[in-house]
Structure formats: structure tokens, C-alpha cells
Structure 1
């Protein structure tokens, strides 16, 4: 479950900056976004801590918080994964590392069928799919 928060951190990094930033700066940006989206979506302090603990969301407000984050960083659009947005983000964050960009593209493409009429549930399904797809490829975002 560590993959989501680190993926979100990576995406937050590129969602806020055209230039490379440190992992620590990305984490701070993610925390700021999480707090903003938690307030907007009614997520609790426990929901935020769950995200910081690198777990998939377990409550509806937590799922909505993640939907908010995903929409703000261009990760999700219209209750579906935004593959083109993910590829654009991957190109920026991975500094045109072709292998990492291809892996990110493959993972995003694998999850295109994940959707739901509810944006919060859609986000949760996409996140679960991406964690599973990354894990099946032996991807650890801890190293990215």
C-alpha cells in the first residue's frame, strides 16, 4: 500500500513544478494538498494519518480526499484515470527516463477500465488497480 502515497507524492511533485524537486519537498507538497483536500471533502485526522501511513483509503471521506488530490494533479479526470495526464507527469518527474516512463504508462493503461459513477469510489478503484499493477511489475516507488 506504500505505492499510492509515493505515487501521489511523485505526481504532486510534477503537478506543482516544471523543475525537479527533492523527495522531501514533494512530501511537503503532498501533505499540503492532502490537508486542503481533507478539509474540502470532510476527511478526518485519522483519514489523513492513514494516507501518511501509506495505506489505501478505507472511508468514504478518505476516498474523496484522494479523488480531490488526483483531480488536482491531473491523475484522474471524469472518474477515470487520465492516461495522457499520467504520461505527461511521468515524463516530467522521471526526467525523460524512458524505462520508468514506459512502466508508468503501462501501469496507467492497465487501469483504464477502472471507473465508477461516484468520483470517490472511482479514485479508490484506480488507486487499488495501480498498486496491484505496480506490485505485479516489481515496482517500488520508494526508490523513485
Structure 2
């Protein structure tokens, strides 16, 4: 019986008839050494150009390798991987009773609810005093009851 491992035994590289492939990119023509890419994604040390590193990272991520393992094998930092292959970050929902909720009402061209109007008034008061919305207090239930 086999036990599952984090990394596959061997990741298949690019299938090509020649060891060098020309790839069209938005920046122009890129020359990819498929042997170096294959060695890099399977853990053998290989010096890669930036185009080869990006191709190797794409292949390794497609086969389910972890981002930190891919970064180490390809020879780039994880921030470079994030720039090349951004991941979707979950968005926090906008709730009523906040300045962002007021802005959402206005984007949708609808009348803002009372809680959002009160939250916007509180945030705008902070903006007039400090020149920024950063650090504006949130609308609490007691402030909402006194505003209503």
C-alpha cells in the first residue's frame, strides 16, 4: 500500500521535439530551454532565465506543488510568484451601517439607509477634522439610537 506524498515522484515537463522552444509572449519572443525547465521542476538545480522560471513555475503550480516549494525549485521568491500568478483573495462583504455601505448604496444609485447615512455623517465629521477617513470611528448601536 502506498502512502500519499506532498510532491509527486516526477512532474512531466514540456513535451517538445527539440530541447529549445520559442514561445511568443506579450514582450516578444522567448527562448525556453525545456531540459532546464524539466530539471528545475523536478528538484535538480538549474540556472533559469526569467521566462524559463515563469514557465517552470506555471508547470509546477499546475501539477499541485505548494507555492513555497515551487519558489525554492525555480529560484524566485514567493512575492514574484504572487506577481506572476495572483490568487483570488476573498473579499469582505460590505455591511450597512458603515461608510463603505453608504458608498455601495451610492454606486448602486439607490437611497442610503438610515444606518449608512449616520455612519457616513460620523466618518465625514472625522474627515473634516483630520483630512482623512483613516481612523474614522465606526457607528455603534448607541450612536445609531441617538442619531435616529
> Scaled by the length of structure 1, what TM-score is found?
0.28
Task: Select the structure of larger CA radius of gyration.
Answer: 2
Which structure has greater helix proportion?
Answer: 1
- Higher RCO structure, 1 or 2 (CA under 8 Å, sep 6+): 1
> Scaled by the length of structure 2, what TM-score is found?
0.28
Which structure has greater strand proportion?
Answer: 2
